[in-house]
Homo-oligomer: A and B are copies of this chain.
Amino acid sequence: MHTDLEISKKAPLLPIAEIGKKLNINAEDLIPYGKTKAKIPLTYIDKEKYSKNNLILVSAISPTPAGEGKTTMSIGLTEALNKIGKKTTVVLREPSLGPVFGIKGGATGGGYSQVLPMEDINLHFTGDFSAIEKSNNLLAALIDNNVQNKNNSLGIDPRTVTWKRVMDMNDRSLRNMIVGLGGTTSGVPRETGFDITAASEIMAILCLAENFSDLKKRLGNIFIGFTYNKEPIYARDLKAHGAMAALLKDAIMPNLVQTMEGNPAIIHGGPFANIAQGTNSIIATKTGLSLSDYVVTEAGFGFDLGAEKFFDIKCVSGRLSPKAVVLVATVRALKYHGGIAVADLQIENLEALEKGLANLEKHIENIGLFNILPVVAINKFTSDTDGEIDLIRKRCEKLGVTVEVADVWAHGGEGAIALAKDVVATVEANHVKFTPMYDWSLPVEEKIDIIAKKIYGAKAIDYTSKARANLRKIERLGLSGLPVCIAKTQKSLSDNPALLGRPKDFVVTVREIEIAAGAGFLVPITGDIMRMPGLPEHPASEKIDITDDGTIEGLF
Contacts and interface: CB of A to CB of B under 8 A. Distances in A.
B243 A541 contact: yes
A285 to B, nearest CB: 20
A47 interface: no
B137 A169 contact: yes
Interface in A148-179: 148-149, 151-152, 165, 167-179
B152 A173 contact: no
A515 B188 CA distance: 30
Interface stretch (A29-37, A86-94, A306-314, A469-477): A29-37
Contacts of A34: 31-33, 250
Contacts of A168: 134
A19 to B, nearest CB: 15
What is the copy number of this chain in the assembly?
A: 2
Most chain B beta-carbon contacts within 10 A, residue among A124, A175, A542:
A124
Contact of A546 (B145, B152, B216): B216
Contact of A138 (B151, B169, B252): B169
Interface stretch (A69-77, A443-451, A495-503, A547-555): A547-555
A464 interface: no
A141 B187 contact: no
B541 A138 contact: yes
A544 to B, nearest CB: 4
A81 B488 CA distance: 64
Interface stretch (A261-269, A272-280, A530-538): A530-538
Contacts of A133: 130
Nearest to A181: B176
Interface in A238-265: 239-240, 242-243, 245-247, 249-250, 252
Interface in A104-147: 123-124, 127, 130-131, 133-134, 137-138, 140-142, 144-145
Interface size class on chain A is 35 or more
Contact of A175 (B171, B182, B240, B549): B182
Given A144-B172, A148-B172, A188-B173, A167 B546 contact: no
A320 B253 CA distance: 42
Contacts of A538: 152
Nearest to A187: B173
A178 B180 contact: no
A101 B213 contact: no
Interface in A13-63: 31-35, 42
A212 interface: yes
A178 B175 contact: no
Given A246-B545, A535-B145, A172 B185 contact: yes
A186 interface: yes
Given A537-B152, A546-B242, A130 B141 contact: no
A544 B32 contact: no
A436 interface: no
A315 B304 CA distance: 61
B249 A547 contact: no
Given A34-B32, A97-B134, A127-B130, A535 B181 contact: no
Interface of A: 31-35, 42, 97, 101, 123-124, 127, 130-131, 133-134, 137-138, 140-142, 144-145, 148-149, 151-152, 165, 167-182, 185-188, 191, 193, 211-213, 216, 239-240, 242-243, 245-247, 249-250, 252, 534-539, 541-550, 552, 554-555
Given A174-B179, A177-B181, A246-B544, 9 more contacts: A101-B138, A124-B131, A144-B172, A144-B173, A148-B172, A172-B187, A173-B180, A178-B181, A242-B542
16 contacts: A32-B34, A34-B250, A124-B131, A130-B130, A137-B169, A145-B171, A148-B173, A167-B167, A176-B182, A181-B191, A186-B534, A212-B550, A216-B546, A243-B541, A243-B545, A246-B546
The 3 lowest CB-CB distance pairs between A and B, nearest first, are A173-B187, A176-B182, A242-B545
